[in-house]
Homo-oligomer: A and B are copies of this chain.
């Protein structure tokens, strides 16, 4: 199915159900007005409109972070390259429709009324696009012998090393393909992943999936800095979409980096970080602030008044101690102590029920995009794993690394250049 035929076939949620149209129309009219918004910045305040799927880069990376996440890692179960390519074409066509707030196909009427299963599962009917983005990445395991892709594996797509204190669950790690669905409505994000999984039946299977809420970083200066489950503002110095020159240096794969199919793309590192929030909650405010290096309320670097004040790493208290401690998180993670390495983070808080020991299974699903993990995530995380006092309160329990190709142009599909 080409993208064009899917566009023809796809029916807007408004028109899908005939008699249901009236009830749905208000919502649709509500977002139709937003679709003319041009700039990424202006999308930050709008929580219902669509985000364009096609473009130079994949959406869902610098897009102002939406409030909800459904992340899924898939194992490819077919061994046939042609079936994998077909799947990526079908997924891309579906993604273009889903992100536009459309359903992915006819509703069982193809072979006469009611005789076929609905092509769309229906739970997003009546809901606006809600800034849905779908972003794909390919894991190292996809480049094994199955699909003839070994020679196409980017050098930067390394297997992540073991970091001190990693306690990874293999069932929450790795994956041949990752799809990151972000939206301001969880039902829209869940609907998208579910329908992609359904399209993939017999070719891929969900390896693990993760829901998240309350974004833990901003990717635009138009967004306020949110708080993580430690209660601290997170992502104050994150790379932002307005930092256009820096994005070329730090985020997007450049022509000289290679391989060709990754130009305009980025590498995603995902980490499921369990927080021992019960222990954290018994730690004094002073200790918490010293560990992070920021005031809990203001988010300001210690010794400063405002969240966005520059950090003074040399400043000392009257008793001669550094205001921002030697092993404070913001020092260890700062570009000036990491050869200038920066990340574009867009992680989410999660609570996945409780852990059977009376504690919430809660934490941060860390997502970071970068030009080269060998120079960015890996050295930064090595330093944090060695020295960060925060390690007493967190444990990394899941991990993934994925090569996210450049953007999809109309008529193309996810990974077309990889399979060319």
Contacts and interface: CB of A to CB of B under 8 A. Distances in A.
Interface string A3-42: 0000000000000111110010000000000000000000
Interface stretch (A87-95, A109-117, A143-151, A317-325): A109-117
Interface string A126-144: 1000000000000000000
Nearest to A297: B17
A238 to B, nearest CB: 16
A358 interface: yes
Contacts of A353: 208-211, 352
A379 to B, nearest CB: 29
Contacts of A349: 123, 187, 190
Interface in A158-202: 171, 185-187, 190, 193-194, 197-198, 201
A288 interface: yes
A243 interface: no
Nearest to A121: B231
Given A19-B305, A285-B107, A232 B122 contact: yes
Contact of A284 (B20, B117, B229, B306): B117
Contact of A23 (B109, B187, B307): B307
Contacts of A209: 351, 353-354, 360
Report copies per complex. 2
Interface in A314-332: none
Contacts of A193: 360
A296 B207 contact: no
A70 B351 CA distance: 9
Interface stretch (A260-268, A274-282, A383-391): A274-282
A191 to B, nearest CB: 9
A84 interface: no
A270 B401 CA distance: 39
Given A194-B277, A358-B205, A19 B228 contact: no
B19 A351 contact: no
A224 B23 contact: yes
A226 B300 CA distance: 42
Given A123-B231, A285-B108, A171 B117 contact: no
A208 B354 contact: yes
A295 B114 CA distance: 10
A125 interface: yes
Nearest to A359: B206
Nearest to A188: B214
Given A300-B19, A353-B210, A201 B278 contact: yes
Nearest to A205: B358
A299 B356 CA distance: 39
B123 A227 contact: yes
A126 B20 contact: no
Given A108-B285, A211-B353, 7 more contacts: A108-B286, A115-B286, A117-B288, A124-B227, A187-B213, A190-B229, A197-B360
18 contacts: A17-B296, A19-B306, A20-B297, A20-B299, A107-B285, A113-B285, A114-B287, A118-B281, A118-B288, A121-B231, A124-B227, A186-B213, A190-B213, A197-B360, A205-B358, A206-B360, A208-B354, A352-B353
